[in-house]
Amino acid sequence: MRSGAGLPLYWRVCLINGLVFVVGTLALALAPITVSATVLVSEAVVLLLGLVGIVVLNAALLRTSLAPLDRLSRLMETVDLQRPGRRLPESGSGAVGQLVRGFNAMIERLETERGTSNAKALAAQEAERHRIARELHDEIGQGLTAVLLGLRQLSTRVPADVRRDLLEVQETARSTLDEVRGVARRLRPGVLEDLGLHSALAALTTEFSAHGLKVQRTSTPGLPDLGLERELVVYRVAQEALTNVARHAEARTVRLALQRQGSAVVLAVDDDGQGLRGAAEGTGINGMRERALLIGAQLVVGVGELGGTSVRLTVPLEPAR
């Protein structure tokens, strides 16, 4: 068996079956057993035992040879590039061993290429967010500000019966300007770059609280600096988690916590909503997983302490390579 490890799989199976048949033939030829013209019960028992022994021996040898293929098949059915790191043990130098090593190398290459492409895509996405936020602030925001100033000056020169309608238009323009500024802040969290992660999360929770969601925020003071890239991932995951709660969870209360646990910083978002209820993960959760992979973090989505959905992002303090 060891000498045939380098043979193709087809010839290895033929060799195993041939070896079993040779052993069975030699056993029948050398054993002091005869078969009468009319097979006796004792002879039938001996033949049956010999047949069972041959089948068991053949099955054991084939299982030893083909077991890596079974493991490879099960791994291929469950492999998920969003949960990297799963590999088959590489052993042997035959065709099966080469197949296992080739599969592991393929998964390694796919994970690397996927990570690289996702990093470029997310970087382009952030750049586009910044561009749109800047245009909203500089162009649309300034244009609406000019409209407000013009309406204010115009309200002093119009008759009283028209002034009321003009004030309503002015209030609509003011609320539109506030909405534009809010969209710009969500697209580009300038407070994250200027004041840090704690202030950015505080502003984020305040924004969602203003829309009727009760947000309880806790954080550990004195957390180590994660760097802008990892802090941006933490902020985006918190933003997406709160957005999902506001849109789908039908929750009244949500808890957001940022704490240090050992050699990692953990972001936890729990709500008291209706939960996932067995639904498949959508694009929002998949996007959070993609961001977590970029910095070597781990994202876990499940049932939380409040009975709704729980989102846990564990960010190692050592930056990912």
pLDDT tens-digit map of 163-209: 888 888 888 888 888 888 777 777 777 777 777 888 888 888 888 88
Range ranked top by mean pLDDT from 15-29, 111-125, 168-182: 168-182
What is the distance of C-alpha 136 from the center of its chain?
32
- Residue 316's φ and ψ, nearest 5 degrees, are -65, 145
Average the pLDDT over each of 44-48, 101-105, 130-134, 307-311 and give the range with the smallest value: 44-48
- Please say whether the beta carbons of 265 and 315 come within 8 A: yes
Q: How far apart are CA 173 and CA 297, in angstroms?
A: 43
Token pair of 149 as six digits: 């100033």
Residue 75 contacts by C-beta under 8 Å, 6 or more apart in sequence?
Answer: 86, 88, 103
Strand order from edge to edge, sheet including 214-219: 214-219, 253-261, 264-271, 309-316, 298-303
CA–CA separation, 231 and 196 (whole Å)? 8
> pLDDT by residue (tens digit) across 50-76?
777 777 777 776 677 667 677 777 767
pLDDT in tens, 226-275: 888 888 889 889 989 998 888 888 888 999 999 998 889 999 999 988 88
pLDDT score of 313: 94
Task: Give the percent of the chain with pLDDT over 70.
Answer: 78
CB 229 within 8 A of CB 288: no
Measure CA 82 to chain center.
Answer: 4
Give the whole-angstrom CA distance, residue 115 versus residue 118. Answer: 5
Name the average pLDDT for the chain: 78
* Residues 98, 258: Cα–Cα separation, whole Å: 46
CATH number of 195-321: 3.30.565.10
Cβ pair 275, 309 in contact under 8 A: yes
Listed in sequence order, the residues at least 6 apart from 308 whose beta carbon sits closer than 8 Å to its beta carbon are 245, 249, 251, 270, 271, 272, 273, 274, 275
- Ranges of CATH 3.30.565.10 domains, the chain: 195-321
Q: pTM (2 decimals)?
A: 0.59
